[in-house]
């Protein structure tokens, strides 16, 4: 019995009072209350399963169903009153159900434990959230594809080691992230069957003694399979760990995109400008336009990764079946869902409203970025690539020594490096041609970029 006098679901064994500090330390209602709908849905299905086994009469099952619907309506209307002794969402719902329907509420828990109940609630809740997240991921991919289609003619420097490397299409850059987010969505889709496994009917650990039809329960609750072992069913939180990993990886991709756009938005680059809605100013310097949305996205990736690592440290050393440490499984899951939900939507909005400076991108294309094209020119003349790489490097050095661009070198200059150079070498100094030469699958040519766009559009549709 608690200090408030309210009955605990587990209180029959105990005669002493609970330390009020321990009672507060033990309760989880302040965060697991958000699973109210999942908990009620699972209870309504379980009542039907008990009725099918003759544990409840049809009238009792109907009374429980109606009472649980009334509890749900109170939650949805914001009128549910949490009271002292409501240590978790299961206790709160059952207490309120008893106030509405009377003693028959005490039959609902027959053969059921909070161990299999909470595992079921979490899977039901997360399943709905994953479906919503998949929708947000598809919207983000759609925004990237739409921008890639719109800006397909814009060229920009491509970078390795943050050094200008080769010319690419701006669309090609955007699509690289679209494919990452497509992979994130596909991983979540592949995760769903493992998430969508029913623990209910496992009891506390040993199974259900009233032969409830677990396959019927799974069908009633939309689960695709039944946890095949009751110890596993109550103890498994791999689905939380896997979701947190997938969420962390998605946030890493968001963070990397944010980092690129932060760099490209600086005055030194000037490639992109964020919409005012996703920027802030400085409290001291009136000229500043800070990419706060992108910085927050970059920061929140660490938050979700922290959710994962914190949970894994809790999970790693637990003995079998349920342990109270598992109360620490919900807040990281809730936090990751909330952070992902907001981050995906903000990222989509940033991409959709982003302004690009195509002229500045073009101005940053310099002749030395075609040094590889010069080497490839010689390859087409029959010179081995290892030699052409060295020759092209010598041309870069010659231009540097003269204080000019490599494209300013004459045919005569180049002939001093190799006799294979001819007048047609001047055709190398064309950024559009360079880009469109990269025409094998996945390349940055117009044709291959369009193929990537079409591929993603087909996936989206």
- What's the pLDDT score for residue 16? 59
- What's the pLDDT score for residue 98? 98
185-229 pLDDT, tens digit each: 999 999 999 999 999 999 999 999 999 999 999 999 999 999 999
User: Among the options 4, 66, 84, 282, which is catalytic?
Assistant: 282
Q: What is the DSSP letter of 56?
A: S
- What's the pLDDT score for residue 282? 62
Rounded Cα gap, residues 453 and 190, in angstroms: 23
- What's the pLDDT score for residue 284? 58
Rounded Cα gap, residues 264 and 280, in angstroms: 17
293-336 pLDDT, tens digit each: 999 999 999 999 999 999 999 999 999 999 999 999 999 999 99
291's tokens: 């990419």
- What's the pLDDT score for residue 115? 96
225-240 pLDDT, tens digit each: 999 999 999 999 999 9
Residue 1, pLDDT above cutoff 50: no
- What's the pLDDT score for residue 143? 98
225's tokens: 């399979």
**How is domain 367-460 classified at the CATH fold level?**
Ribonucleotide Reductase Protein R1; domain 1 (1.10.40)
For range 70-79, the mean pLDDT = 98
Q: What share of the chain is helix, strand, coil (3-state, %, to 5)?
A: 65, 5, 30
- What's the pLDDT score for residue 238? 98
- What's the pLDDT score for residue 10? 47
CATH 1.10.275.10 maps onto the chain at 11-107
Residue 6's pLDDT band (cuts 50, 70, 90): low
Quick check: is 412 catalytic? no
> What CA–CA distances, in Å, run from 266 to 81, 273, 360?
51, 9, 12
268-280 pLDDT, tens digit each: 999 999 999 988 7
Residue 4, pLDDT above cutoff 50: no
246's tokens: 């997938």
DSSP 148-165: HHHTTT-EEEEEETTEEE
Percent of the chain with pLDDT over 70: 94
Quick check: is 4 catalytic? no
For range 122-128, the mean pLDDT = 98
Residue 50, pLDDT above cutoff 50: yes
- What's the pLDDT score for residue 283? 58
Residue 5, pLDDT above cutoff 50: no
Q: Domain 11-107, what architecture? A: Orthogonal Bundle (1.10)
Q: Which helix (H) or strand (E) holds 391?
A: helix 385-402
- DSSP reduced 3-state for 103: helix
Residue 449, pLDDT above cutoff 70: yes
Q: Domain 114-363, what architecture? A: Up-down Bundle (1.20)
CB atoms under 10 Å from CB of 128, counted, come to 13
340-365 pLDDT, tens digit each: 999 999 999 999 999 999 999 999 99
Mean pLDDT over each residue of the chain, to the nearest integer: 94
368-403 pLDDT, tens digit each: 999 999 999 999 999 999 999 999 999 999 999 999
CATH 1.20.200.10 maps onto the chain at 114-363
User: Among the options 161, 283, 412, 440, which is catalytic?
Assistant: 161
Rounded Cα gap, residues 152 and 192, in angstroms: 35
For range 285-296, the mean pLDDT = 82
Residue 68's pLDDT band (cuts 50, 70, 90): very high
Q: pTM, whole model, 2 decimals?
A: 0.92
- What's the pLDDT score for residue 13? 56
- What's the pLDDT score for residue 15? 54
CATH 1.10.40.30 maps onto the chain at 367-460
Residue 3, pLDDT above cutoff 60: no
């Amino acid at each position: 019995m608690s200090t408030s006098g309210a009955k605990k679901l587990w209180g029959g064994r105990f005669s002493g009072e609970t330390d009020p500090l321990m009672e507060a330390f033990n309760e989880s209602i302040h965060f697991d209350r958000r699973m109210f709908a999942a908990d009620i849905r699972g209870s309504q299905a379980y009542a039907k399963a008990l009725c099918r086994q003759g544990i409840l009469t049809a009238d009792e099952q109907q009374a429980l169903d109606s009472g649980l619907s009334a509890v749900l309506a109170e939650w949805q209307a914001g009128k549910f009153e949490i009271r002292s002794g409501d240590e978790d969402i299961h206790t709160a719902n059952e207490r309120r159900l008893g106030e509405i329907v009377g003693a028959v509420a005490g039959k609902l828990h027959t053969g059921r434990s909070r161990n299999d109940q909470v595992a079921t609630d979490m899977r039901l809740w997360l399943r709905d959230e994953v479906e919503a997240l998949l929708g947000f991921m598809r919207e983000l991919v759609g925004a990237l594809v739409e921008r890639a289609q719109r800006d397909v003619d814009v060229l920009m420097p491509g970078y390795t080691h943050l050094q200008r490397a080769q010319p690419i299409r701006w669309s090609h850059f955007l699509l690289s992230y679209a494919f990452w987010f497509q992979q994130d969505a596909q991983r979540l889709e592949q995760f769903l069957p493992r998430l969508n496994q029913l623990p209910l009917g496992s009891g506390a650990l040993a199974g259900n003694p009233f032969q409830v039809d677990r396959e019927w329960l799974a069908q009633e609750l939309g689960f695709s399979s039944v946890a095949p072992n009751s110890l596993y069913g109550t103890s498994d939180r791999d689905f939380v760990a896997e979701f947190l990993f997938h969420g962390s990886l998605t946030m890493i991709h968001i963070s990397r995109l944010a980092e690129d756009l932060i760099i490209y938005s600086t005055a030194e680059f000037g490639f992109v400008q964020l919409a005012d809605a996703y920027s802030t100013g400085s409290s001291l310097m009136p000229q500043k336009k800070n990419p706060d949305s992108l910085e927050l996205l970059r920061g929140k990736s660490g938050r979700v990764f922290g959710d994962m690592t914190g949970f894994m440290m809790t999970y790693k050393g637990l003995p079998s079946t349920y342990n109270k440490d598992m109360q620490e499984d919900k807040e990281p899951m809730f936090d990751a869902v909330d952070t992902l939900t907001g981050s995906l939507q903000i990222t989509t909005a940033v991409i959709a409203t982003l302004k690009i400076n195509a002229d500045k991108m073009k101005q940053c294309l310099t002749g030395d970025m075609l040094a590889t094209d010069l080497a490839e020119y010689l390859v087409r003349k029959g010179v081995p690539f290892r030699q052409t790489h060295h020759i092209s490097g010598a041309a870069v050095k010659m231009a540097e020594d003269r204080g000019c661009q490599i494209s300013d070198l004459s045919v005569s200059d180049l002939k001093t490096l190799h006799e294979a150079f001819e007048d047609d070498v001047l055709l190398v100094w064309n950024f559009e041609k360079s880009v469109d030469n990269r025409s094998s699958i996945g390349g940055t040519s117009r044709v291959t970029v369009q193929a990537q766009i079409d591929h993603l559009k087909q996936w989206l549709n």
